[in-house]
């Protein structure tokens, strides 16, 4: 222990206080000091324009004999590529969940705070270039020496590079890191980094500008030192910068990467290379394990955590965190092809915002085909992310199919086999509630899930399509006092339930459907006293005098034009209607904001805003919290609409409001 421990722990408790609201972007440091922000922070995403001078020099043929700007761009590109790989692994529960070190989830606060994780790549490219283009670094015996004219490769120089790093750089970093844990410096700078209790691969580069200046100066020692020792080369920059990033990301990836056997066969390795679990203890216990990559310095100066190797062995064996089955699973699927990049483990920043396509994204189209092939080869449902709701573990799984595939009858057996296998796997694992999202519960595909309940009557889990809460959400958007409604898509699962509910409330409902038989079937389900409130329609023209439209299918521009001025389109159609009528209002798809007890949400559910989920997803979670023992499949029971709504409100789910209605 050292004297700053108590102050550090006090600052750590401040960082983790409960009054910090999830989702609000905040600085990580408790008392930000001078040079806290990077000079280009005001530029936002335009900061990448700082690479343009390098690109201009290369493209204009003005690069020097070392091809310096070319190599700086290539190294930067490789650093970004490597970070993507490790971010993919760090967030991918399917590949790395077994050796997880910490199972506490991340939130949007951390994602936002770490959004500038790559500023150091820009900084180091600029600083290295300034040094390279200086006329000279030193003069000796009347000869001035500049940091240039590098050979492509020097094997002895690479050995010198590693030795200089192991000596001066590791030593200086250790004591600099210790100094940054002194209360004043910790509060002003280093607490920004430690705000990430559970780290991701890129968390290791999330520091204030002042810290990065200090680190850059220290990490320049091996590069300049090797040059002074007569061993510098172009390959030196590749090895050191990419190797440094690799070790830094390994240390923060939150899954144990190293096997146990090398450390048992060669015990001295414990002092030469750290492990992810070793550095994880620094973030969880704060005042131990200060080294950069070599635990030797913690051992020498008495700051080696005595739990370091126990945690390593546990994590490597897959027992560092519990691996119990989730209480609830929600099964989603891809929408358009580009939606694959919205998965949490594909792009952290993109996934943290509602899914929107733009022209720049279509650059990724060439990657879609190989990704589609990989998904098809995997051939099974996979985990997208994990969360918590009160004491319950909840997970989002994804069917390896895109929306357009659900409309081809030839694909139905394959898709249903994915869903069925996932249900049976979840049932065997002890999952309590299995929610079906979007087209996974399509009526034509599997009868809203009833196919699986009939086929497997002994299911222990409860299968839930969640549409009862969806119907409740649509109905609660319809103002009280409405006397008539025009329902399009009236014989669908939701259209039927909404029509029956409104009819019972005394609303005159015109149900547009080409099937008289289906209309009569729904009408017969309505209590005799209210059947007169249901009217059959064959034409969209019958809605011309009704300002309350409930829409469950796509409407053409001509059909929308029929609605009178001031109409509100209450929709449950996917995708939502294009808002063509400026004199009308369009409700959004039914969605709920999660209660405060829901944690670990770091990505948006497709087009939903942060911490909002589709109504059917919320319906599955309410089913879990209420402990209901019935399957919610097939037709919606109108008698349960109010019951489900009240349960959702009681558990803190709040209907996402629409923009102003006409």
Least confident of 18-27, 37-46, 97-106: 18-27
Average pLDDT for the chain: 92
Per-residue pLDDT band for 409 (boundaries 50, 70, 90) equals: very high
Query: What's the average model confidence in pLDDT over 76-102?
Result: 95
Q: What is the pLDDT of residue 5?
A: 45
Least confident of 24-38, 191-205, 508-522, 634-648: 24-38
Q: What is the pLDDT of residue 17?
A: 37
Summarize pLDDT for 134-187 with one digit per residue, the tens: 998 888 888 888 999 999 999 999 999 999 999 999 999 999 999 999 999 999
Q: What is the pLDDT of residue 660?
A: 61
Encoded tokens for 165: 């790093």
For residues 25 and 23, give the distance between their C-alpha atoms in angstroms, rounded to a whole number.
Answer: 6
For residues 303 and 2, give the distance between their C-alpha atoms in angstroms, rounded to a whole number.
Answer: 9
Query: What's the average model confidence in pLDDT over 329-337?
Result: 93
Question: Which of 36-45, 404-413, 618-627 reaches the highest mean pLDDT?
Answer: 618-627
Its pTM stands at: 0.89
E strands of 319-450, at which residues? 328-334, 382-389, 392-402, 433-436
pLDDT at 378 over 90: no
Encoded tokens for 156: 């002895």
The tally of CA atoms less than 13 A away on the side-chain side of residue 305 is: 23
φ/ψ (deg, to 5) at 231: -135, 15
CB atoms near residue 271 (< 10 Å): 16
H helices of 189-275, where?
Answer: 191-194, 209-228, 234-252, 261-265
Q: What is the pLDDT of residue 377?
A: 81
Encoded tokens for 390: 């009160």
CB atoms near residue 349 (< 10 Å): 13
pLDDT at 3 over 80: no
CB atoms near residue 599 (< 10 Å): 15
Query: For residue 38, which of 213, 194, 186 has the smallest C-alpha distance?
Result: 213
The tally of CA atoms less than 13 A away on the side-chain side of residue 51 is: 17
Query: For residue 207, which of 218, 191, 184, 220 has the smallest C-alpha distance?
Result: 191
Q: Given phi > 0 = left and psi -120 to 50 = alpha, else beta, which region is 438?
A: left
Summarize pLDDT for 387-396 with one digit per residue, the tens: 999 999 999 9
What single-letter DSSP state applies at residue 106? P
For residues 567 and 583, give the distance between their C-alpha atoms in angstroms, rounded to a whole number.
Answer: 8
What residue ranges do the domains of the chain occupy?
5-317, 328-468+598-655, 469-592
Per-residue pLDDT band for 661 (boundaries 50, 70, 90) equals: low
Per-residue pLDDT band for 77 (boundaries 50, 70, 90) equals: very high
Per-residue pLDDT band for 27 (boundaries 50, 70, 90) equals: low
CB atoms near residue 515 (< 10 Å): 13
Q: What is the pLDDT of residue 367?
A: 83
Q: Given phi > 0 = left and psi -120 to 50 = alpha, else beta, which region is 652?
A: left
Q: Give the SS3 label for residue 412.
A: helix
φ/ψ (deg, to 5) at 566: 85, 5
Query: What's the average model confidence in pLDDT over 338-364?
Result: 87
Q: Are 403 and 439 in contact (CB under 8 A)?
A: yes
Summarize pLDDT for 275-310 with one digit per residue, the tens: 999 999 999 999 999 999 999 999 999 999 999 999
Q: What is the pLDDT of residue 9?
A: 42
Q: How many residues in total does the chain contain?
A: 662
Q: Are 518 and 492 in contact (CB under 8 A)?
A: no
Q: What is the pLDDT of residue 19?
A: 37
Q: What is the pLDDT of residue 294?
A: 97
Cis peptide before 279 (omega within 30 of 0): no
For residues 49 and 40, give the distance between their C-alpha atoms in angstroms, rounded to a whole number.
Answer: 10
Query: What's the average model confidence in pLDDT over 441-454?
Result: 94
pLDDT at 132 over 90: yes
Architecture of domain 469-592: 3-Layer(aba) Sandwich (3.40)
Q: Give the SS3 label for residue 161.
A: helix
- Cβ-Cβ contacts under 8 Å for 78 (sequence gap 6 or more): 238, 242
pLDDT at 26 over 90: no
Q: Give the SS3 label for residue 4.
A: coil
Per-residue pLDDT band for 24 (boundaries 50, 70, 90) equals: very low
- Dihedral of CA atoms 80, 85, 86, 89 in degrees, nearest 10, equals 160
Query: For residue 189, which of 200, 180, 197, 201 has the smallest C-alpha distance?
Result: 180
pLDDT at 22 over 50: no
SS3 breakdown of the chain: % helix, strand, coil, rounded to 5?
Answer: 50, 10, 35
Least confident of 377-381, 421-425, 487-491, 632-636: 377-381
For residues 253 and 264, give the distance between their C-alpha atoms in angstroms, rounded to a whole number.
Answer: 23
Q: What is the largest CA-CA distance in the chain?
A: 108
């Amino acid at each position: 222990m050292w004297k700053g421990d108590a102050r550090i722990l006090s600052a750590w408790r401040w960082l983790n206080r409960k009054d910090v609201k999830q989702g609000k972007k905040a600085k990580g440091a408790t008392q930000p000091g001078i040079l806290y922000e990077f000079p280009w922070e005001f530029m936002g995403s335009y900061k990448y324009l700082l690479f343009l001078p390098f690109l201009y020099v290369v493209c204009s043929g003005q690069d020097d004999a070392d091809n310096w700007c070319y190599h700086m761009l290539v190294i930067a590109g490789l650093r970004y590529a490597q970070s993507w790989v490790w971010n993919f692994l760090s967030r991918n529960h399917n590949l790395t969940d077994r050796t997880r070190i910490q199972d506490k989830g991340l939130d949007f606060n951390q994602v936002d705070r770490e959004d500038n994780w790559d500023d150091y790549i820009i900084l180091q490219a600029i600083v290295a270039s300034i040094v390279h283009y200086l006329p000279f670094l030193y003069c000796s015996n009347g000869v001035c020496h500049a940091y240039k004219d590098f050979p492509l490769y020097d094997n002895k120089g690479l050995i010198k590079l590693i030795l200089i790093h192991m000596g001066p750089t590791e030593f200086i970093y250790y004591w600099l890191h210790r100094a940054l844990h002194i209360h004043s410096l910790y509060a002003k700078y280093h607490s920004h980094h430690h705000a990430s209790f559970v780290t991701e691969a890129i968390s290791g580069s999330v520091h204030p500008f002042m810290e990065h200046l200090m680190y850059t100066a220290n990490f320049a020692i091996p590069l300049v030192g090797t040059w002074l020792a007569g061993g510098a080369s172009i390959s030196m920059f590749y090895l050191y910068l990419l190797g440094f990033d690799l070790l830094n990301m390994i240390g923060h990836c939150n899954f144990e990467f190293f096997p146990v056997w090398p450390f048992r066969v060669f015990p001295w390795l414990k002092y030469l290379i750290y492990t992810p679990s070793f550095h994880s203890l620094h973030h969880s216990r704060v005042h131990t394990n200060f080294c950069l990559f070599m635990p030797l310095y913690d051992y020498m100066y008495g700051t080696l955590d005595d739990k370091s190797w126990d945690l390593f062995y546990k994590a490597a064996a897959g027992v560092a965190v519990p691996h119990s089955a989730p209480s609830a699973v929600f099964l989603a699927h891809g929408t358009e092809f580009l939606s694959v990049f919205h998965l949490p483990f594909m792009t952290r920043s993109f996934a943290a915002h509602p899914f929107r396509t733009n022209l720049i994204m279509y650059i990724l189209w060439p990657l879609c085909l190989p990704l589609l092939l990989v998904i098809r080869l995997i051939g099974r449902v996979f985990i997208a992310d994990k969360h918590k709701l009160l004491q319950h573990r909840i997970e989002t799984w994804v069917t390896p199919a895109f929306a357009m595939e659900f409309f081809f009858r030839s694909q139905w057996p394959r898709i249903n086999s994915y869903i069925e296998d996932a249900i049976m796997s979840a049932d065997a694992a002890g999952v309590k509630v299995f929610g079906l999202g979007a087209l996974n519960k399509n009526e034509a595909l599997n009868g809203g899930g009833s196919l699986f309940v009939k086929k497997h009557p002994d299911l222990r889990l409860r299968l839930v399509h969640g549409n009862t809460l969806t119907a409740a959400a649509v109905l609660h958007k319809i103002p009280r006092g409405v006397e008539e409604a025009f329902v399009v898509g009236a014989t669908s699962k939701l259209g039927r339930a909404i029509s029956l509910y409104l009819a019972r409330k005394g609303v005159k409902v015109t149900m547009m459907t080409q099937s008289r038989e289906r209309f009569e079937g729904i009408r017969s389900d309505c209590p005799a006293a209210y059947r007169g409130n249901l009217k059959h329609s064959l034409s969209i023209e019958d809605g011309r005098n009704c300002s309350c439209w409930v829409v469950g299918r796509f409407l053409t521009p001509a059909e929308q034009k029929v609605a009178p001025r001031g109409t509100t389109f209450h929709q449950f159609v996917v995708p939502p209607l294009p808002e063509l009528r400026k004199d009308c209002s369009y409700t959004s798809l039914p969605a709920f904001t999660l209660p405060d007890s829901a944690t670990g949400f770091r990505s948006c559910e497709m087009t939903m805003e942060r911490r909002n989920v589709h109504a059917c997803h919320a319906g599955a979670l309410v089913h879990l919290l209420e402990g209901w023992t019935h399957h919610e499949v097939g037709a919606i029971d109108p008698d349960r609409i109010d019951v489900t709504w009240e349960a959702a409100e009681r558990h803190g789910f709040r209907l996402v409001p629409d923009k102003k209605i006409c």
